[in-house]
Structures are given as C-alpha cells and as structure tokens.
Structure 1
Amino acid sequence: MGRRRTALLAVGAATVMAIGTACGSGGPAAAGASAWALTGGDEQSIRSSFDSWNEANPDTAINPEFFANDAYKQKIRTAIGAGGAPTLIFGWGGGNLRSWVDADKVANLSEVAPDVGALTDRYLPSVLDTGTVDGNVYAVPNNGMQPVLMYYNTKLFDRIGAQPPETWEELMALVPRFNEEGIAPFAMAGQSRWPQLMWLEYLVDRIGGPEVFEAIAEGEPGAWSHPAVLEAGEKIRELVDAGGFADGFGSISADSGADAALLYTDKAAMYLMGSWAYPSIKDAAPEFIENGHLGHTAFPTVAGGEGDPANIVGNPANYWSISAEANTDERQAALDYLDRGLMNDDYVDTLLENGSVPPVQGIEEELAAADDSEYLSSVYETASAAPHFELSWDQALDPNQADEMLATLEQLFNGQVSPEQFSSTMDATIG
C-alpha cells in the first residue's frame, strides 16, 4: 500500500500544481472551505481524516459539519436548490448525483483536474462507476463499501438451536421460534422508511433478477407491476403479518441507533442493514463483537427465483462531490484534499481499524492484518466478486420518484396498501 501511494503522491503533487493553474489561483484556500457529512457509520474515520489534513495543511483547511442521515437528506436538497451547498457535498451517486449534474450544481472533476487519474486510479472501478455520469467523474468515494448484509446474534441462535436462514422458507420458519422465546426475529427502524427498502430490493432481485429494477430505472411503462415486484410485496406482508419485526417498528428511528441496539442487547435475532452498521456496533458495543456474538450472512434465496444469490444491494460507497458554486480558493482546497488526503495510507488504516472496508485496489495484505480481518476480507470479497451490485433504489431513482416510493412502501409495511396498490401507485410515477 505504501509503495503504491508513493507513486500516487508523486503524480498528485504535479496534479495539485496543475489544479492551481486550472482554477486560476495558486494561493492558499479561504477559511470558508467546508464539508457536510453523516453521523454514525464511518463518521470517526472521516473526522480523523479532516483533522489530520487540517493540521498538516492549515492554508487549505476544510471545516466539516456532521448531520443525522434523515435530516441531512432534507438539508442538502434545500441547500443545493438555494445555492448554499458546502464545498464538499456528501452523496450516494445514482439519481441524486445525475440531478445535481443536470442542474450544474457539482463540478466535473474530469475537467477541473487535468490528470483525473491521480484522483481515481486507486479505487475499484465498480465503485468509481457510481460517481461517473456520461463518462465524466463528478464524485469520488469517501468511505467504505456498503453492501447490505443480514446480521445475526449468535447467542440467540444458539439459544434456540438454529442456523442462519439460507432460504426464504427457512427464514419464515424461524419467525415463530424466536417469537415463542420473546425475541423479535428482526430489528427494524420503520420510522426512517429507507431500511424497509432493503427488503424490497433484495426480494425483487432474488425473485426476478436485476433486470426488473433496470426496467423500473429506465422508466418502462408498467415496470412496477412486474410479477417479481408483486411477489416481493406479498412476501413483505407475509413477514409483517407473521410478527417478523420488533413490536412498534414503525416508531423506531435509524438515526438514534435504536434498531441496532435491539440486536446487540439480545432483543432481536437478526438485522438487515448496510455494512456501515458494523463500525457503529463496534463503537457502541465493542464487547459484542469481541466475544464473537455478531454474525453475518447473505440474503436468503427464494424458491424458483431467477436472481443470482451472490447479487448484492446497497451503496458501493458514499461520495464527495465539489460544489460548482464554490469559489476558486474553496475549490482548490477541496481538490487538494481529494488528491492527497482522501484514501491515503492513514485513511485506509483508519477505516480498517474502525471496521469498514475501503473501496481501494490492492489492499488484500492490509485486510489480512486488520483486527477484524475475517469480517473485513469477507465484505471486500463479497463486494468485489458480486455479479451485480445494485445501488439503493432511493438513490438510483429520481429524487421525487424515490420519495413517493418510500412513502408508499411504508404504507405497504403498515398494511395501508396492498402489493397491487403499491405497484399501481408507483407505475403512475413513471414518466
């Protein structure tokens, strides 16, 4: 890793000089360079990176602020629309990024940096692709890869003498067994809505394969009424009606961490969540992980389904974009940081120490030497080898359609609409 980054830094130094010329200023950045990011997950790694950067580079310092997930999504949408975005914009790629590009709200890194390869060559191509629009790079990864995994409490499985489910039938058979012991089969933060989406994403993929969502994303008429979507909705209702989720799941917020706490306090047996949950659990309950009580497995298969069981959903990573409205000095400060501060050796080491998997090429030795090597190597291999890594639908779709999807999906989970009504409502959003 060190030898590889030595070469990158040499290129990076030249790139920084070129960037200064391209931006029209070789002077120091203004103190106003800023960044907004999320609390939880990789927050500590991102904080540490900025702290180190600012200490070593006071003339190009960046001032970060951190927000809870749900609050941030509203705040950044308002700020971008009003022309008040931070210099570095935290995002997910996909539909949101395209909307920012179409509105000329984020800088084209392929044009701003004469040698964009110095910014991008370190990343796994499949992850970098999510920050690319029409062949141009508008965003680069800023934290670990985030496939959605099925976490489980090994103590609770041992208590009932069970193994983690490999099929949907096995999953449903576990529900009454855990309920009989007074244990919620699954933790769920229904108030936040987006955790419910993971169930729909995986079920649609397992039943119909990735082509089903590809048709939805392309806006094909009636795509939401595909049999795989309808069957996925039926299975969601089946699980809810069987008591699959913790009591009162509709009032639990992901931002508070109450859903993860159900797992590590032995109140829930399983937890479908992105891999950002691991560093959060490690921070909140390190002994739970140290004692081997946290297991993880793939989402179950569905009988007769067409999807590859190795397919995954989630976020390839989160991303930094640079606001197109940043002034010259702010932009250069951001570019300097992306070139020399982001995913350097120290950043990679910090992510690994905190239980997150960097989306960087050639780090197998670092993974093997890490404290959580078995888990980290598993996530790296899962994400790198997946035949299909589907971006979370609320990020892949147009923001307005994604809002309608989350609201209607919440109604499906709550029994306010049927699977057929969910599909017809969403079909009406196409176009």
Structure 2
Amino acid sequence: MSVTNHFQEDNMRWKTMLLLVIMGMTLLPIFASGEGEGPASTSPGGAEPVEITLLIDNQSPLDGLKAVAAAAEEKLGIKVTFEFRPGGPEGENYLKTRLVAGDMSDLSYFNSGSLFLALNPPQYFVDLTDEAFMDPVIATFKQVVSVNGRVYAAPAGEITAGGWFYNKKVYERLGLEVPHTWHELMANCEKIKAAGIPPIAASYKDSWTSQLILLADYYNVQRAYPDFHEDYTAHRAGFADTPAARRGFEKLREVYERGFLSPHPASTTYENALLMLANGEAAHYPMATVALANLQAVAPDKVSDIGFFGQPGDDPSDHGVTIWLPAGLSIWKGSHHIDEAKRFLAFFLSQEGLDTYMRAQKPFGPFPIQGISLPDDIFPATRDLLSYIDAGKTAPALEFISPIKGPNLPQICVEVGLGLKSPVDGAREYDRDVEKQAKQLGLPGW
C-alpha cells in the first residue's frame, strides 16, 4: 500500500479538502453545466435493460444506492441487481472466497483502505485510474484504493466519522453537557447510570461494532504519537508497548468494569442498539456516523434527537474526531458487463446521480468529490461532525495510513469489552494478529 506516509505529509491537504467539500467550493467543475448532467441513456426505447449485479453487505444503508440504481435503469437501460453478504469478518471471507473461485458480482461494495488493499486489487478489479468520472474524486480517497499509483475503486458514499452518538433528550433531562475529555464522559455516564438509564448501548452480537471505542480513539493516538502509523507499519511500535495506542483497549474495558453497558451486550444486535439509543433506553452508542442512515430507517421520528461527538482524550482544548473514508465500488475483471458497470459508476458520481442519492437518503457526511454540496436539511448529528471538520480537528483512521489491520480485531474487542481478556492481553493478541498480515504483504521489518 502506498499511503503509509500520506497523512503526515499531507495533513493540511486532508483538512483543506474536507473543508472545501463542505463549503461547496471546488477546484474543478465536475461536469459541464446544463441539462442532463449525468451520462445520457443509449438504451433503445423499449429494449430490455442490461442487468449487472452489485454485492454489498447486509447492514449498509441502501436507500441512496437503490434510488441511483432505479434512475440508471430508466436513463441508461442498466438494471442493478443487489446481492447480499454478511458484514464483518464473515462477509470479508465470503468476498475473498468468491474472488478466488472466479464467481463474483459485476460490482462489489467493500471497505477502502487496508482491508481493500489486502484483497490484491490488481488481480481482481478493473483499473479506473484514467476514467473521466474519477477526475473530481479527491486525491485522499484515491490514495487509499490505489496500488502502485493505479486506482481500483470509486467512492460509494460519504466520509464518515467514528465517535459517540448521544440522546439529546436524555442529556437535557439530566442537565449534562457534551464532554470534552474522557474523564468528563465517564462522569456523565455515572450520572446517567444513577438515573437508572444504561449509559452505553453495546451490540456485540454484531462483533464489528465492538471495535468503535478502540478505532475512534485514533485521533488521540495521533496527537500523542504523530509517527505511530509509520512505526507501527515498520514494526517499530505496537499496541501493547505504546501507551497511547493501548489506551483504546483500556477504555473499552473500563466502560464494562464500571457497569456502563446496556443489558445483554453479547446478544444485542446493531439494530437493537440503534433503537435503544433512539428511544432513550441507552444514552450513548459508540458508532460511526454512517449509522445515521440506518437510524433514519428504524426510527425516523427520533433521529433528530441524536447528537454526535468525537471520542474525547485528556486535553479539553484538543477534542477531535477520527475520520473514515467511504467504502469503494469496484468492477470485477471477470465481468461480462465492464462497460455497463463503468457507465453506472459515471452516473452515480455525477451531480445528477448524487442529487438522486441525497434525495433518497440524507447524507451523514461530506462526499470525497469536489463540488458536491450538502443539502440544508442534514441530520443534526451530521452538523456536529461538520463542526470538527470546519475546525480542522480530524485525523484519518489508522487503516487509511497503514496497510495492516488484523482480521481478528472484532473478536478481540468483544473479549476485552466483556471482561474476558485484559487490555494488555487484547493489545498483545492484536499485535500478533497484524503480524500475520504484515508478513503476507511482505512489509519491511516483519
């Protein structure tokens, strides 16, 4: 992966690009202005549409993509049929199995960053570097889906952030303020617990959700140890021997030991946790802002009651947020419909396509595409996220500036989060987990 040093070298560009996206400022026009900004349909009138398949996990929000797919069928004569896989490690293994077997969907929706690069994109996916529809995509996204300078995925949605959702009505009723240090957050949780409300919804039945407290802490890691991603990638530092990095495991264990988790965390699902948060049956949910679209689906009348803050560290004057770039859409090399898949991506990334997306699904963050402005009626929690971006208080998640992320992190976090493993043991196990991947990638120092 060629992004190891990109955040340290381009820290200001990262912040500037995000701010430009929010403000609707642009360095380049996306497409010429005028009617029909998306690609025009070349499908003969009345002809049967060409069908392409798109593989996506069964927990990502779909309203926006489905709306674009419906418009593409009408305008382009291309019908998108969605196929579904599990989320988390199970879904990753399913995707890898299909790729190796040569039985893959035309398009696949999957993480950008280290998990995507571990798939060996040049072997399986079409090179999109020279496609005109990729021109307005910001360099920050292209870098995390590139191998040797070639780009293998288009952005599938918005930039998201990891942190804490909170129920504003619970906070108002108890007279609480948004915390700016971890100590203040824990003090809020104590008051919430004393009021008879579970302070934190935990949904470890869906194991990927257990990682958020650890992963969302990377802004604080980066501030304490700016070169951690380089030393981690070069095997000069790990989670177990780096106090700032190990702190995320300690926070995950602390909320369990202090009795802050909702009942039955091991059997609670992601959707259950969203409903608990929306209904005030839990005050917080550590999660990524992508969940706002799911929250809108399950509790549309209560999504405005939910706010968001970045996971705080120890300095109240330096409260930031950890950012995730969106998943990518890649075209399988073995597809019989590569041209149609490219035309769909071009339409999706056009102003017309993204307007269609945003009408069907409120955006939960900015798009990594120059010139795309967000509508006025965004979620309140999205506005909370934008305040961090406007202030330049962001850092990319570790998986976007290091090529290694161990596949067993969700299970390790479940064990630490349920008191089955100490933070130190969890950190050591994760260091061993990433060692396997680093050696497979042939990284120096491993």
- AA aligned opposite 2:120: V
1:165 aligned onto 2:175: no
1:355 aligned onto 2:329: no
- AA aligned opposite 2:232: I
Normalized per residue, the structure richer in helix is 1
> What CA distance in whole angstroms lies between the structure 2 residues aligned with 1:124 and 1:98?
18
> What CA distance in whole angstroms lies between the structure 1 residues aligned with 2:353 and 2:126?
27
> What CA distance in whole angstroms lies between the structure 2 residues aligned with 1:311 and 1:172?
18
Cα 1:88–1:65 change in 2 (3 A) is same
Are the counterparts in 1 of residues 201 and 276 from structure 2 also a CA contact under 8 Å?
yes
Name the structure 2 match of 1:277. Answer: 291
- AA aligned opposite 1:237: R
Are the counterparts in 2 of residues 94 and 130 from structure 1 also a CA contact under 8 Å?
yes
What is the correspondence of 1:8-407 to structure 2 with a 5 Å cutoff? 31=50, 33-58=52-77, 60-70=78-88, 72-101=91-120, 104-110=123-129, 115-116=130-131, 118-207=132-221, 208-209=224-225, 211-220=227-236, 222=238, 224-254=240-270, 257-289=271-303, 292-303=304-315, 309-313=319-323, 315-327=324-336, 330-351=337-358, 354-356=361-363, 357=365, 358-364=367-373, 367=374, 369-372=375-378, 375-376=381-382, 378-380=384-386, 382-383=388-389, 386=392, 388-391=394-397, 393=399, 398=404, 402-407=406-411
The Cα of 1:50 is off from its aligned counterpart by: 0.9
Name the structure 1 match of 2:443. Answer: none
- AA aligned opposite 2:127: N
Cα 1:288–1:101 change in 2 (3 A) is same
> What CA distance in whole angstroms lies between the structure 2 residues aligned with 1:270 and 1:4?
40
Cα 1:180–1:394 change in 2 (3 A) is farther
Q: Percent identity?
A: 19
Are the counterparts in 1 of residues 113 and 144 from structure 2 also a CA contact under 8 Å?
yes
Q: Provide Cα deviations, 1:6-39, integer angstroms capped at 9, x if missing partner.
A: 428999869x99xxxxxxxxxx999453111234
> What CA distance in whole angstroms lies between the structure 1 residues aligned with 2:403 and 2:122?
16
Are the counterparts in 2 of residues 29 and 61 from structure 1 also a CA contact under 8 Å?
no
What secondary structure, in the 3-state scheme, does the structure 2 residue paired with 1:261 have? helix
> What CA distance in whole angstroms lies between the structure 2 residues aligned with 1:394 and 1:362?
23
The Cα of 1:303 is off from its aligned counterpart by: 4.8
Are the counterparts in 1 of residues 180 and 316 from structure 2 also a CA contact under 8 Å?
no
> What is the TM-score of this pair, normalised by structure 1?
0.81
Cα 1:373–1:165 change in 2 (3 A) is closer
What secondary structure, in the 3-state scheme, does the structure 1 residue paired with 2:259 have? coil
What secondary structure, in the 3-state scheme, does the structure 2 residue paired with 1:403 have? coil
Cα 1:240–1:408 change in 2 (3 A) is same
Are the counterparts in 2 of residues 37 and 90 from structure 1 also a CA contact under 8 Å?
yes
Q: Provide Cα deviations, 1:220-247, integer angstroms capped at 9, x if missing partner.
A: 4655421223333223222210012111
> What CA distance in whole angstroms lies between the structure 2 residues aligned with 1:210 and 1:191?
34
> What CA distance in whole angstroms lies between the structure 1 residues aligned with 2:400 and 2:94?
16
Name the structure 2 match of 1:22. Answer: none
Are the counterparts in 2 of residues 35 and 63 from structure 1 also a CA contact under 8 Å?
yes
The Cα of 1:319 is off from its aligned counterpart by: 0.8
Q: Where does structure 1 lack aligned partners over 5 or more consecutive residues?
A: 18-27
Are the counterparts in 2 of residues 42 and 143 from structure 1 also a CA contact under 8 Å?
no
Cα 1:304–1:360 change in 2 (3 A) is closer
> What CA distance in whole angstroms lies between the structure 1 residues aligned with 2:141 and 2:200?
29
- AA aligned opposite 1:319: G
- AA aligned opposite 2:376: A
Are the counterparts in 1 of residues 30 and 350 from structure 2 also a CA contact under 8 Å?
no
What secondary structure, in the 3-state scheme, does the structure 2 residue paired with 1:297 have? strand
> What CA distance in whole angstroms lies between the structure 2 residues aligned with 1:187 and 1:359?
30
Are the counterparts in 2 of residues 153 and 295 from structure 1 also a CA contact under 8 Å?
yes
> What CA distance in whole angstroms lies between the structure 2 residues aligned with 1:86 and 1:218?
35
Cα 1:143–1:384 change in 2 (3 A) is farther
- AA aligned opposite 1:215: D
- AA aligned opposite 1:390: P
Identify the range of structure 1 (90-99 vs 121-130) with the bigger mean alpha-carbon deviation.
121-130
Name the structure 2 match of 1:411. Answer: 415
> What CA distance in whole angstroms lies between the structure 2 residues aligned with 1:302 and 1:171?
11
> What CA distance in whole angstroms lies between the structure 2 residues aligned with 1:97 and 1:419?
28
What secondary structure, in the 3-state scheme, does the structure 1 residue paired with 2:67 have? helix
Cα 1:352–1:56 change in 2 (3 A) is closer
> What CA distance in whole angstroms lies between the structure 1 residues aligned with 2:242 and 2:356?
44
Are the counterparts in 1 of residues 406 and 430 from structure 2 also a CA contact under 8 Å?
no
Cα 1:283–1:13 change in 2 (3 A) is closer
> What CA distance in whole angstroms lies between the structure 2 residues aligned with 1:335 and 1:101?
20
What secondary structure, in the 3-state scheme, does the structure 1 residue paired with 2:99 have? helix
- How many pairs are equivalent? 400
The Cα of 1:103 is off from its aligned counterpart by: 6.5
What secondary structure, in the 3-state scheme, does the structure 2 residue paired with 1:185 have? coil
The Cα of 1:62 is off from its aligned counterpart by: 3.1
The Cα of 1:129 is off from its aligned counterpart by: 2.6
> What CA distance in whole angstroms lies between the structure 1 residues aligned with 2:316 and 2:284?
24
> What CA distance in whole angstroms lies between the structure 1 residues aligned with 2:164 and 2:239?
27
Cα 1:376–1:353 change in 2 (3 A) is farther
Are the counterparts in 1 of residues 249 and 416 from structure 2 also a CA contact under 8 Å?
yes
